[in-house]
Every structure is written in structure tokens, then in C-alpha cells.
Amino acid sequence: MLKVAIITGSTRPGQNGKAVSQWIYDLAKVREDADFEIIDIADHNLPLLDEPIPPLIGPYTKVHTKRWASKIKTFDAFVFVTAEYNHGIPGALKNAIDFLFKEWNNKVAGFVSYGSAGGVRAVEQLRLVMAEVKVATVRAQVLLSIYTDFENFTKFKPHSVHKKSVNNMLDEVIVWGNALKTVRISES
């Protein structure tokens, strides 16, 4: 069974990502084509990138990096839940991605974003970052507006139309996740 991580990408106190990740998980867990797990990067206490050797070269030297690598390695696919801060991705999410390399390789990612413009600019940046760590990205994405999908910008109340977008994105993630799993098996 395909294993999909729903990664909460903001660590800011009071951020909306946890509620969005839980909503995605609740919609995903009824599916029978994959297993889903929420991963909150805040729970991993990653400092600013402190590995002395680039992750492309390795090996990892820090305990926190090794734990993070062990966790990410277990997944076949990812759904990144990201806020858009100042037209970009949260620094904590970029930092968490930058810690690793091979654990991301030949996997797939989908995106759920939120912000004043639906988080579209954050997703554009994430697509570039994912390409560099050899993660394929799916076209379908979920864009949530802080104006219409959050009451008073804080209480998550997604419009019902987004459920279809979530399932379309998950359909693509699962198809590509299964395809790329065969690539990883052939490289072993």
C-alpha cells in the first residue's frame, strides 16, 4: 500500500496549517488506495540547516537530521500543506526540505496552499524546490483563500467545492506515487 505523508509546512504559532492538514487527512483516510499520515514539521524541532556536508553528498551527522531522514524515507508520496508568506513558502518548510536529498528522490508531491491569493505563489516556488530534490509534482492542486475559506482569517471553514479538488489531487498523487515506486524498486 502506498504511504502518503501530509506535511504541515508552517511552524508559526496559531497558524492554520494544522486544521487544513487534518481536513485533508479526514478526506483521504476514507480512500482504500493509500495510507495517510500527518507530519507536522514543528514536531521535528529542526534548527536552521546545520549539517556540515550538503545532503546531496552526505552522510548526515546530526541526530535530528537522521531522525527526519528516517521518517521521510518511509513515504512514497507527499501532500504539502503550505501557507504563503510574502509571496513564498514558509522558511521552516524550505529548511525541512533542505536537510535531506535522497529521501525525497523519485517520489511525488501534491500541494494544498492557503493565502490571500490561494497560496499559488508558494506552490510555484515549491515546484522548483521539488524538482531539485527529484520529486515529481502533480498538476492538480488545492488553493484555499484566507478570505473565503477561513472565518476571521483563523477558523478554517473550507467551501465544499474544494473536496473535489482534494480528491483530484490525491488521485494524481497516488497514480504517480505507484509509478515512481517501481522506479525506486528498480534502482535498489
CATH of the domain at 91: 3.40.50.360
DSSP string, 28-53: HTT-SSEEEEEEEGGGGT--S---SS
Report the distance separating Cα 105 and Cα 91, nearest Å: 21
Whether pLDDT at 106 is above 80: yes
Whether pLDDT at 44 is above 80: yes
Per-residue pLDDT reduced to its tens digit, 124-168 = 999 999 999 999 999 999 999 999 999 999 999 999 999 999 999
Amino acid at 32: E
Q: Structural domain of residue 86, as residue ranges?
A: 2-187
| Per-residue pLDDT, 123 | 98
Among candidates 34, 161, 49, which has minimal Cα distance to 110? Answer: 34
Count of domains observed in the chain: 1
Whether pLDDT at 35 is above 90: yes
Whether pLDDT at 99 is above 80: yes
Report the distance separating Cα 25 and Cα 19, nearest Å: 10
Report the distance separating Cα 111 and Cα 102, nearest Å: 20
Its pTM stands at 0.97
